[in-house]
Structure 1
Amino acid sequence: MSPRAPLPPPPPPAEIQSWPDREARLADRARAMAELTRRLIGGARLTVFLVWLATLQLGWGICGSGLIMLEESIDPISGLFAAFFVALGLGAVVPAVYFLGRGVREDRLARERLLLWAVLDADRTADARLREPVLSVVWLLLSLLLCAVGLWVSLAAPAEGVGPGRGYGTVAYLMGMGLGLWIGGLIGTTKAIGHYRLAVRLVA
């Protein structure tokens, strides 16, 4: 996989800005803002987000299997298999958490640069194209669904408690799964609402 291209830089400071005319400045502004918007809520960004969220859930599922096996193990061999599954799951959980966190940091940086380009000038025609209503709605609806499912699982797992065929490992697995979904949904919801508010402000 090739290294990811860097974000468009912020506009130069006022004392060294050297556009030949306003049209050139608006053209650079439109290109930078379009790329930053794509990096924030574009289809590729959504795909990467979902892939890492799915990787997180897959890894935690493997960890959960190990936790359940560890709880039910009756001999050292079973315990070793359980520990192996936990370690295998963490091998997916750790990079997924890292890349999801890096995505949040990159989103924050992209939004900061988008705001800097936005205050540089005003171009209602170009700015109207940055709303991306379809992608914004997809981000919002998908994220709200993740939040709802994650919150329900997180609350239902400890509420039902431990019982026959449902040990502490199962409860821990369900709570972790719900928490991962809820946090992922919260990230997406914040992104969608933040972009909508910015887009509305640009064309107001």
Structure 2
Amino acid sequence: MSARPALPPPPPPVEIRTWPDRGALLADRAFTLGALVRMHIGPGRLGLLWTWGALGAFGWALIGTAFITFEESYDIISSIMGVVLLALGAAALVPAVVLVVVGLRRDRDIRRLLAQWGALDRDPAGDSALRLPGVSLAWLLSSFALCAFGLYACFAVPAGAVRGHDTYGLMALIMGLGFISWLIGLIGVIKAFRHRSWILGTLTGRAASDPLVPSGGGAHR
């Protein structure tokens, strides 16, 4: 698997900027912002996020199955099988959590760079290409659907459980899968709204509202 592309550097400080004219600055700005937007909300990023979620769901499915096995086991073979499933599930779930955290930290760095490069100048006509309305809508709708499914699994399914028929292990399995779905969907919804907020701020000259991006990232020219 190829390594992820490295993030571009932040814009140079005002005192050492060497752009010969505004046209050169806008060209570098457009190229860098285009690369950053693709890294942040490109179609591949949505697929990658869902892949991490699927890996986490697979891990939790194994862990939930282990809980059910422990709950219903009556012999040593079943107990050993439960331990094996628990170990395999942890081996899938832990890397998925790590990958999601690393991805969120990378997104934070990307948003900081987007704010800094976007603050260099204003180019509403050129920046319109960064809107990616279809991609942004795909992020929003698919992530919203995933959130809705996750909330249903977390609350509606356990509420309809039948005592003596639906085991605690089964409910833990379903609720865990629902929580993972809700979390991955929530990340996607937030990213879609943050992209929209950044686009509006870049086109209008107002900084996007993001608590993770410090103010003063770049100087207006």
TM-score bracket, normalised by the shorter chain, equals over 0.9
Amino acid at match of 1:138: A
Residue type of the alignment partner of 2:25:
R
Q: What amino acid does structure 2 have at the position aligned with 1:116?
A: Q
Q: TM-score, normalised by structure 2?
A: 0.89
- Aligned residue for 2:130, secondary structure, equals coil
Give deviations 1:98-119, integer Å, cap 9, x for gaps.
1111111111110110010011
Higher helix proportion = 1
In 2: Cα distance, 1:104 partner to 1:170 partner: 30
- Residue 161 of structure 1: CA displacement? 4.5
5 Å matches for 1:27-46?
Answer: 27-46=27-46
Give the structure 1 partner of residue 139 of structure 2. 139
- Contact 2:66-2:83 within 8 A present in 1 as well: yes
Q: Which residue of 2 aligns with 1:174?
A: 174
Confirm or deny that 1:53 pairs with 2:26: no
Which whole-Å CA distance do the structure 1 matches of 2:45 and 2:119 have between them? Answer: 25
Partner of 1:8: 8
2:194 is aligned with what amino acid?
Answer: G
Quote the sequence identity (%).
44
List per-residue Cα deviations over 1:87-139 (Å, max 9, x = no partner).
11111111111111111111111011001001111111221000000000000
Give the Å deviation of 1:4.
Answer: 1.4
Task: Say whether residues 1:112 and 2:109 are aligned partners.
Answer: no
CA RMSD of aligned residues (A): 1.2
TM-superposition CA deviations, 1:152-192 (whole Å, max 9, x none): 11112442346233111111111111111111111000000
Deviation at residue 42 of structure 1 after TM alignment: 0.4
Is there any run of 5+ residues in structure 2 with no aligned partner, and where?
Answer: 205-221
SS at match of 2:11: coil
Instruction: Tell me which stretches of 4 or more aligned residues in structure 1 moved more than 3 Å.
Output: none
Counterparts of 1:1-204 in structure 2, within 5 Å, are 1-161=1-161, 163-204=163-204
Distance, in Å, in 2 between the alignment partners of 1:68 and 1:118 is: 52
CA contact (8 A) 2:119 2:202 kept: no
Q: Aligned residues, how many?
A: 204
| Structure 1: gaps of 5 or more residues | none
Which moved further from structure 2: 150-159 or 139-148? 150-159
SS of residue paired to 1:129: helix
State the one-letter code of the partner of 1:72: E
Distance in 1 between residues matched to 2:166 and 2:87, nearest whole Å: 22
Pairwise CA distance, 1:150: 0.5
Q: Distance in 2 between matches of 1:57 and 1:86?
A: 13
TM-score of the superposed pair, with normalisation by structure 1? 0.96
In structure 2, C-alpha distance between the alignment counterparts of 1:6 and 1:165, rounded to whole Å: 52
For the residues of structure 1 that align with 2:98 and 2:157, how far apart are their CA atoms? Answer: 26
